[in-house]
Amino acid sequence: MNEVFEHRGLRAAIPMLLVGLLVLVAPGCQALNGGGAGPEDVPPPVRTAVAKHEKPSGRRPGVVNIDTEQGLNSTRAAGTGIVMDPAGLVLTNNHVIQGATTIKGTDTDNRRSYTAQIVGYDRQSDVAVIRLFGASGLKAAVFGDPSSTGVGDPVTAVGNAGGKGGTPTVVTGKVTSLDQTVTARDDSDGTSERLTGMIETSAPIRPGDSGGPLLNTRGRVIGINTAASASFTVGKSKPKGTHRGYAIPSDRALAIARQIARGQASATVHIGRTAMLGVKVRSSDTQGAQVVEVVPGTPADEAGVPVGATIISLGGAAVDSPTTLTGLMLAHHPGETVRLEWFTGQGARMAASLRLADGPPQ
């Protein structure tokens, strides 16, 4: 199992007022959301390959264009989803809906748009499930067995490239490697994650393709497009400029999605709405999470947590880093009361009990 570094930016991030494109990668790769970076930020070989291979999707049932608004950041983002059942359960990447305050899903078969709600998500595995309100009779995708996939097999990637909506775009390639590990970075917020067991392909996927299906020659979904890179050198076999796309094997993504649909929370799976504290934090010079911004009107603001404070405890559990704080928050839900402890910039130890608000997914 080789390790590569790719951006997972296959979500297209779109500033509220300035429409652009984002990319999918990991430290070397982008997440595939649409928006954020402009076309000049996509390496020319990728743009050329996409223009050459894109074509109408034909009958590719089960593909959903996802559009989100991130109210706290005043941005929009776009990605792709896969219909799991006719009643409107949709599988996608967690980074497609991360930070979303509103979500809209458009089924590309019936062309109808639906308001969507998050059922649950797994940040560690980058898998999420949303429900399209009022949906019925949708054409569900057909899933295949990724274990039967081999290096050299032809594959097709379908998605909402560029976050443009409408008919899904289709690009083709081959499986170039299996069981890959990527460290995926989302350029929209700088977050990163380590994903294992990925399918590597030469299909020129783009921002906006995140969460879309990777299909075998029978049209079965064998992977969920999640990350890509186009301009990195990894050994002699992969010269600079070689496009690499990465997909989560469909059996692994489906296992998590079905757990979410059953409402079974775990150490990594969060079910339902997300609790919000109302702070943005970074690593502290000492142990803890240092507050760099307090969102007005949130529980942290009302409790008097100042910028520059270092959070050291939440709900009686020690906080030694921003990652720990995020993990602890995911164990809670809106409306719960927790005790928060912090040091001020002057070293005074403070504490308050606060009621967690309803916030966007992490």
Active-site option among 67, 107, 126, 209: 126
Percent above pLDDT 90 for the chain: 59
Q: How far is CA 95 from CA 36, 184, 234, 313, in A?
A: 14, 11, 25, 27
Domains of the chain (ranges, CATH numbers): 146-248 (2.40.10.10), 273-359 (2.30.42.10)
In angstroms, the CA 342 to CA 344 distance is 6
Structure confidence at residue 183 as a pLDDT band (50, 70, 90): confident
pLDDT at 334 over 80: yes
Structure confidence at residue 263 as a pLDDT band (50, 70, 90): very high
Active-site option among 177, 192, 202, 210: 210
User: Residue 70 has what pLDDT?
Assistant: 81
pLDDT at 264 over 90: yes
Mean pLDDT across 16-45: 32
* Greater model confidence, 189 or 321: 321
pLDDT at 72 over 80: no
User: pTM of the full predicted structure?
Assistant: 0.79
User: Residue 182 has what pLDDT?
Assistant: 86
74 is catalytic: no
95 is catalytic: yes
User: Residue 180 has what pLDDT?
Assistant: 92
Mean pLDDT across 23-35: 40
3-class DSSP state of 254: helix
Q: What is the CA radius of gyration of the chain?
A: 20
Q: What does the pLDDT look like over 199-257, one tens digit per residue? A: 999 999 888 999 999 999 999 999 999 988 754 333 444 444 577 899 999 999 999 99
User: Residue 44 has what pLDDT?
Assistant: 25
pLDDT at 260 over 70: yes
Q: How many other C-beta atoms lie within 10 A of the C-beta of residue 224?
A: 29
User: Residue 9 has what pLDDT?
Assistant: 47
pLDDT at 25 over 50: no
pLDDT at 177 over 50: yes
In angstroms, the CA 52 to CA 36 distance is 24
pLDDT at 91 over 70: yes
Tokens of 24: 């999918």
User: Residue 243 has what pLDDT?
Assistant: 77
Least confident piece of the model among 55-59, 122-126, 347-351: 55-59
Left, alpha or beta for 36 (phi > 0: left; psi -120 to 50: alpha)? Answer: left
At 173, which amino acid appears? G
Mean pLDDT across 108-129: 95
36-40, 117-121, 277-281, 287-291 — which one is most confidently predicted on average? 117-121
Q: What does the pLDDT look like over 276-309, one tens digit per residue? A: 999 989 888 888 999 999 989 999 999 999 999 9
| Average pLDDT score, the chain | 81
pLDDT at 64 over 80: yes
pLDDT at 131 over 80: yes
* C-alpha 274: how far from chain center: 15
210 is catalytic: yes
Q: Is the dihedral of CA 64, 65, 71, 72 positive or negative?
A: positive
